[in-house]
Amino acid sequence: MKEYKQSFTKWQEQIQQELKKRPERKDTFQTSSNIPIERAYFPDKIDNAYIKSLGFPGEYPFTRGIRGTMYRGKHWTMRQYAGFGSAKETNERFRYLLDQGQTGLSVAFDLPTQIGYDSDDTMALGEVGKVGVAIDSLEDMEILFDKISLNQVSTSMTINAPAAVLLAMYIVVAEKQGVSKEQIRGTIQNDILKEYIARGTYIYPPKASMRLITDIFAYCSENVPSFNTISISGYHIREAGSTAVQELAFTLSNAVAYVESALEAGLDIDQFAPRLAFFFNGHNEFFEEVAKFRAARRMWAKLMKERFHAKNPKSWQLRFHTQVAGSTLTAQQPENNVVRVALQALAAVFGGTQSLHTNSKDEALSLPTEDSARIALRTQQIIAHETGVSDTVDPLGGSYYVESLTDELEAEAQKYMDHIDDMGGAVSAVEKQYMQREIHRAAYEAQKRLENEEDIVVGVNKFTVGDEQQPDLLKVDEAFVESQIERLNQIRKERDQEKVSDILEKLKKSAEGKENLMYPIIEAVKEYATVGEICHALRDVYGEY
């Protein structure tokens, strides 16, 4: 007993040290009835089992959170995914969201950008600017971040196959603003395995894709130390219809594959692991979701410490972004979605998320309008500032139900992960379509439960109303496509074509060899080579999946 008392005292002392550097939001926290709120609550007896499975907040295995003070210190980052049409329109939406109190940016790119086609490519027909902003050349990126200081915001970019290109553009735009590589903060999604599994924006075959990813890891660990080089995503796996256990297992299996690939490329674990970030789904089933986030942290900490022998505690910490589940939004009675979103977001907060995107109520119908995007942001502001849930760390910790679920999810996910290891790891499991099949089976079963009314979706298969009024929806102005293509042609005319061709040739050579591809890509971007041209050069070398 005594040693645990000591470790508790030690933990408290450490927190006091931290508080000197980073004080909490308030000197004291209390409820409306003046009951003081402790930083965290503990069992009467702190024993070995507690230390092993839960630990103190901010300490291994981080089940209760990655910081000792969590949201008492600072709320999660409110980061709303946005982007549509032209860079100029999206820039306006970004500045609106920042004015409204949003604390980080999150860029949605259109599908041609995500799959490495320029806006004038025949493959881009009908898709330009639809689900996100169209970026062809550095000029678009300059417009996108116009009047936004890149040393003031952190920016998350949902970009995978061409992640290196968009990161290069971001670095160059920052430099043009006078902001150094060391200063920029943000995340690129860069998680190609889940693209093959669930999201679909892959370009090259898995092995070539993995090389691009490790090149980014290596480049950033030397040059862009504050950028998260990957956001390993369960979000889309869940959206594709997986269960919570599958989301957990497949995401961590993918993470293991990235780690192994980076180790094979000769990187040191503690050099890149602290910059790995995660991205999970905030779904409907409240307690299971809370348990999922807690289990994820514990599993990752164990993996990193015990399997990969990482020494730096930062390598053990699973930091994650949450977006609430888009697939649970209903087109029927869209106002109900506000409530769904609030509850899902609350689960993410109880789960200790580092940043959060709350969906807009109209997203089952189209991209969100400015009004509904504001309500979505307000929803998490209300959770943060009005409910008091952020005044103590891991408030559900110790609940018999939540702790039991956390253990169960871990055990079930571990079974899947062992099976994937037996198959030769995530890359090989993806190539064999294993995860795709498992997810599809779960999705089909869920659909059948819904149609048999075993599962109830309010307003869809129960509690329906007649005469649904369709709300006002966001219309993306189609006319911009022409001007986007015009500007692209203008750039192609004005730039130094010979230089561009030379660099693209050089890029192909590097792709055949071993040189880190980030260097030639940055050079190419600076000369206004386009996303499509750079990706096509790599297609020539690697082929398409």
Partner 1 sequence: MDKIRVLIAKPGLDGHDRGALVISQALRDAGMEVIYTGLRQTPKQIVRAAVQEDVDVIGLSSLSGAHNVLFPEVLKELSRNEAEDILVFGGGVIPLEDIQVLEKNGILKIFTPGTSTKVVATYIEQAVAEHRGETPMLQTPPKRVDHIGIAVKSIEETAVFYSNHFHVNVETIAEVPDQGVRVAFLPLGNCKIELLEPLDENSPIHAFIEKRGEGLHHVAFEIDNIQQRLDQLKAEGIRLIDEKPKKGASGNPIAFLHPKSTYGALIELYESKQDAENEGGQ
Binding to partner 1, residues 223-252 (CB under 8 A): 239-241
Q: Are 184 and 226 in contact (CB under 8 A)?
A: yes
Q: Among 329-337, 370-378, 392-400, 519-527, which window interacts with partner 1 (CB under 8 A)? A: 329-337
Quick one: 102 or 242, whose CB is closer to partner 1?
242
Q: Shortest Cβ distance from residue 241 to partner 1 (Å)? A: 5
Convert residues 89-118 into a mask of x (bound to partner 1 by CB under 8 A) and - (unbound): ----------------------xx-xx-x-
Structure tokens that stand for 274 in this block: 């602290």
Judged by CB under 8 A, does residue 447 bind partner 1? yes
- Measure Cα distances from 361 to 138, 279, 341 in Å: 33, 21, 8
Q: Are 310 and 425 in contact (CB under 8 A)?
A: no
State residue 105 phi and psi, 5-degree precision: -105, 155
Judged by CB under 8 A, does residue 28 bind partner 1? no
Judged by CB under 8 A, does residue 485 bind partner 1? no
Quick one: 201 or 315, whose CB is closer to partner 1?
201
Judged by CB under 8 A, does residue 476 bind partner 1? yes
Judged by CB under 8 A, does residue 332 bind partner 1? yes
Q: Which residues of 49-63 are buried (b: 16+ CB within 10 A; e: fewer)?
A: eebeebbbbbbbbbb
Q: Are 325 and 344 in contact (CB under 8 A)?
A: yes
- Measure Cα distances from 47 to 9, 131, 186 in Å: 14, 51, 39
Convert residues 123-162 into a mask of x (bound to partner 1 by CB under 8 A) and - (unbound): xxxxx--xx-------------------------------
Contact pick of 53, 366, 381, 414 for partner 1 (by CB under 8 A): 366
- DSSP E strand stretches across 251-354: 276-282, 320-324
Residues 6+ apart with CB under 8 A from 537: 504, 507, 508, 511
Q: Shortest Cβ distance from residue 164 to partner 1 (Å)? A: 19
Quick one: 51 or 365, whose CB is closer to partner 1?
365
Q: CA 441 to CA 414: how far, in whole Å?
A: 19
Q: CA 447 to CA 360: how far, in whole Å?
A: 23
Cis peptide before 334 (omega within 30 of 0): no
Quick one: 166 or 310, whose CB is closer to partner 1?
166
Q: Shortest Cβ distance from residue 444 to partner 1 (Å)? A: 5
Judged by CB under 8 A, does residue 460 bind partner 1? yes
Residues that bind partner 1 (CB under 8 A): 111-112, 114-115, 117, 122-127, 130-131, 195, 199-201, 239-241, 327, 330-332, 364-367, 440, 443-444, 447, 450-451, 457, 460-461, 465-467, 470, 473, 476
